[in-house]
Structure 1
Amino acid sequence: MPQRISDVLFTHHHYDHNGGFFDVFITSWRTHITAERVFEGRSVPMQVYGPETTKAIIGKMRESFEFDVKLRISYNLSDEAGSRIEYTECNEGVVYDKDGIRITAFEVDHRPVYPAIAYKFEYNGKTVVISGDTIPVANMEKHAAGADLLVHEAYNKPWLDALIARYPQHEKALSNPAKYHTTTLEAAQIAQRAGVKHLVLTHHIPAPEANPAAEQAYIEGMADIYAGPITVGRDLMAFELK
């Protein structure tokens, strides 16, 4: 349930990475009542983590919620503390360390979007790294070294090149991803050099259909570079680290 969400981490501030914040903020705060039970809304400030631009950008989004927020406090009697946000801005370093969970932010390169960061999660002897959006950077291999799971963005270059050839009038828009993203083969190289145990691809460009044949075509050539398992990530996937 969304009421369990109290912490949100941003890697950068492209709309596809922060556009859903209003929904997360409100639905985690409001109490939801069904015939079977009551899901109490968040009664503490939302903790927001991100690079140095986060408070300025997300703060403006929060200001735009103010009309809705005031109504929920005065009319629906929602908890006032839940209407607030506490920010942790950090490009490099530990941003969360409690209850055995340690989260480290580190810089990546998604220019012209700057700053952009990735996150390393450590818990119970296991490590997960989430790249955010980036070209290949040495920082990724450094922090992903020996990780149990690396969730890395990737685009398929031959597929993108084919689209450019098919739609030359859109060449500029279609070729831009190559300037600030990582190819599938580059992601495989990063995972192999870092000794990652499992590689999950996200942020697919162009997105393959959700079937085994399309996904296998999307990761073509990666197994020649990276010896571990490769998964084409999909929303709501779950991974158990043993």
Structure 2
Amino acid sequence: MTERLHASYSYSHNIFLRDMNIRDIRTLAQVHEIDVPDVGANSHNTAPPMRPFQVMQDDRVRVSATLVPHGPVFPAFAFRFDTAYGSVTFSGDTARTPNLIELAQDTDILVHEAISVQGADTPPAVLDHMLQSHVLVQETGHVAQAANARKLVLSHISDLAQNPIDENAWKNWAQQGYDGEVVVGADLQTFVLA
């Protein structure tokens, strides 16, 4: 996919390289496919119970992943980044799954996607897709508590009935069943681990 994207934008890239003397974008990322462990996963069984597995490691970070259910999408992953300063786990787009809870066990920050369908006038097919592919904000605190996450940051927020969201309501919903701190995430927000 990455190679085809480079090819499709090659005309623009060539102009920028020559006209503005920018760095060749193809040198800015090294893409490696993630090999899905043999746990019986397939397009019909997208996230069977499994242990987290290592994706990469260098002298600064260890990255682990697990399969998560995201409707018909396969594969879909959650990722955990462990450093000398602490850990951050990203749920990715997912329905509720024990795989994420195991991956996020004792993480410093759990960045979890969240949706609300409360009061939404949504066609049944859209509602079904949303509930098969995402976690209700009211359930995120329970996930964070089960993982013993120290902080829960809501991200990839989608409210099918209200835009912009009521941040206080979302924070209160996410706090249900969770003893740690809840933050409604915002673009470019930063957090200190150590």
TM range (shorter): 0.7 to 0.9
- 1:152 is matched by which residue type in structure 2? H
Q: 1:63 aligned to 2:7? A: yes
Distance in 1 (alpha carbons) for counterparts of 2:174 and 2:21: 54
Q: Is the 8 A contact 2:82 2:88 kept in 1?
A: yes
Aligned to 2:40: none
Aligned to 2:48: none
- 1:218 is matched by which residue type in structure 2? W
Aligned to 2:182: 230
Within-5 A mapping of 1:31-50: none
Within-5 A mapping of 1:80-229: 80=24, 82-84=25-27, 85-90=29-34, 91=36, 93-156=53-116, 160-164=117-121, 170-206=123-159, 209=164, 214-229=166-181
3-state SS in 2 of match to 1:218: helix
Shift of 1:153: 0.6
Pick the structure with more helix per residue.
1
Query: Unmatched 5+ residue regions in structure 2?
Result: 38-52
Distance in 2 (alpha carbons) for counterparts of 1:63 and 1:106: 31
3-state SS in 2 of match to 1:133: coil
Distance in 1 (alpha carbons) for counterparts of 2:182 and 2:140: 10
Distance in 2 (alpha carbons) for counterparts of 1:219 and 1:140: 21
Length-normalised TM-score, structure 1: 0.65
Shift of 1:75: 4.2
3-state SS in 1 of match to 2:31: strand
- 1:232 is matched by which residue type in structure 2? V
Which stretch of the first structure deviates more once superposed, 71-80 or 112-121? 71-80
Shift of 1:125: 4.3
> Runs ≥4 in structure 1, deviation > 6 angstroms?
none
The alignment yields a C-alpha RMSD, in angstroms, of: 2.2
- 1:162 is matched by which residue type in structure 2? G
3-state SS in 1 of match to 2:156: strand
Distance in 1 (alpha carbons) for counterparts of 2:175 and 2:16: 52
- 2:148 is matched by which residue type in structure 1? G
Distance in 2 (alpha carbons) for counterparts of 1:222 and 1:69: 43
Query: Unmatched 5+ residue regions in structure 1?
Result: 1-56
1:144-182 Cα distance to aligned partner (Å, 9 max, x none): 1100000001112xxx14112xx6xx4433442112101
Q: 1:73 aligned to 2:17? A: yes
Aligned length: 175
Distance in 1 (alpha carbons) for counterparts of 2:179 and 2:62: 28
Distance in 1 (alpha carbons) for counterparts of 2:118 and 2:16: 49
Shift of 1:77: 4.0
3-state SS in 1 of match to 2:17: helix
Q: Pick the structure with greater CA Rg.
A: 1
- 2:138 is matched by which residue type in structure 1? L
Distance in 2 (alpha carbons) for counterparts of 1:205 and 1:70: 37
Length-normalised TM-score, structure 2: 0.79
